[in-house]
Amino acid sequence: MPVFEYKGLTKDGKNIRGSLDADNVRGARMKLKRDGIFIVDLKNKQKAVEKRKAQGGLQVSGRVSVDDLAMMTRQLATLIKSNIPLVEALAAVADQVENQTLKDTMGDIKNAVNEGGQFHRALSKYPKIFDKIYISMVEAGEASGTLDVILLRLAEFTESQNELQKKIQSAVAYPALMLMFTLGMLMVLFVYVIPKVSTIFEQMDKKLPWYSEMVIGFSGWLVNYWHVIIIAIVVIGILFYNWKKTPSGSDQWDSILLRLPLIGKLARLIAVSRFTRTLSTLLAGGVPMLMAMDIVKNVVNNSVLAKAIANARDNISEGESIAGPLKKSQQFPPIVIHMINIGEKTGDLENMLTQVADAYDFQVKNSVQGLTSLLEPIMIVFMGLVIGVIVFAIMVPIFEMSNIAV
């Protein structure tokens, strides 16, 4: 049945918009008239979609947040669990979703499924919204007849990953804000304050201390060559970005990152947490081990660890266990290897991986909070020292001049 989108006015004069199923335009008009809605605009959504497909495919414009995706997934799981057919559940979700991009996407997916297509194949047309993990789990759910359970696991997985990411971002936000404030204050001092004070010193024609000359010289260099600094920063950033995109550059950078004090430990904790949580979710969703390992290597966001997982996957395909190849890579903590080994022996690998993920999520939160509490006093002291040196370098000559004048 075609889907029509409408804009109209209620009896109270309020603007209203939405969509409804009807056999044709006339049927849609009659339904809206019965509901007391004065039609301003009415169009066949399916025809609009087909037109966009003919022009090169349904283009996804706009952003779909993780919160919107998780809520939609949970609603769809609830509807399917209530024995509502998939097409009707997709139609209901498309009506309830507030994000317009996701609403259009789910409407198109609903039409594709209604025409006989598989759900996971319809999802795969939108890789910017539904990643490989999502599509693979839905495929496993369709094959096993447990789509409602799989979707619920996906919602929980998406929400837990989003919660962890938000906590990391909120913990890093304050030090980043302080750093920006410090740099802004230093720029004001060097570009506006010190040049004005230095003109006074030039008029007095007095020999300045070496530290004052150094501060004033740096200020003059900054004022005269600020454009060179900006260009240099941009060029270095582009060169670094291009180098990091190469396989060798990515490997070298990720290897360096893992060896950095404090930051390296945190990066490894986050990567291991993602690895164990994602692998547990995929295996519990019925995704085969080899396919799950292929997917999970892309979520650790570190080429060194991704290669270790890929090598483990190759060894698993030859009949080895998971724990052995991961242990040989020496990239995963011993406790992770130990828990995976126990899970394989007891046949409870998914549960063991979930316990490791929960433990590492907790460690990540504590490590981020500890790093933040350490960075805050360091940055305050640094800011105080730098500004103190600048003030000292400027005020000492001024006091000496005032003493001479007296």
pLDDT tens-place string over residues 228-281: 888 999 999 999 999 988 888 888 998 898 888 878 888 888 888 888 888 888
pLDDT tens-place string over residues 353-391: 888 888 888 888 888 777 777 777 887 888 888 888 888
Burial zone of 121 (CB within 10 Å; 0-12 exposed, 13-18 middle, 19+ buried): middle
- Residue 143, CA atoms < 13 Å, CB-side half-sphere: 12
Structural class in CATH, domain 66-157: mainly alpha
pLDDT tens-place string over residues 280-295: 888 887 888 888 888 8
pLDDT attached to residue 231: 93
Confidence grade of residue 301 (pLDDT, cut at 50, 70, 90):
confident
pLDDT tens-place string over residues 121-172: 999 899 888 888 888 888 888 877 788 888 888 888 888 878 877 877 777 7
Fold assignment, 161-406:
Receptor-associated Protein (1.20.81)
- At residue 96, does pLDDT exceed 70? yes
> Over pLDDT 90: what percentage of the chain?
3
Structure tokens at 27: 């049927």
pTM: 0.66
pLDDT tens-place string over residues 177-211: 888 888 888 888 888 888 888 887 777 766 778 88
pLDDT attached to residue 1: 59
| 152/158 Cα distance (integer angstroms) | 10
Element (H, E) at 123: helix 119-123
Residue located via tokens 């724990």: 323
pLDDT tens-place string over residues 228-240: 888 999 999 999 9
Q: What is the mean pLDDT of residues 50-64?
A: 53
- At residue 50, does pLDDT exceed 60? no
The values of phi and psi at residue 208, to 5°, are -95, 155
Helix (H, G, I), strand (E, B) or coil at 82: coil
Measured CA angle at 229 (ends 227, 232), to 5 deg? 110
pLDDT attached to residue 58: 52
Neighbours of 25 (CB within 10 A): 13
Confidence grade of residue 52 (pLDDT, cut at 50, 70, 90):
very low
Helix (H, G, I), strand (E, B) or coil at 7: strand
pLDDT attached to residue 222: 85
The values of phi and psi at residue 14, to 5°, are -85, 140
pLDDT attached to residue 235: 95
Residue located via tokens 């266990």: 321
pLDDT attached to residue 232: 93
Neighbours of 155 (CB within 10 A): 20
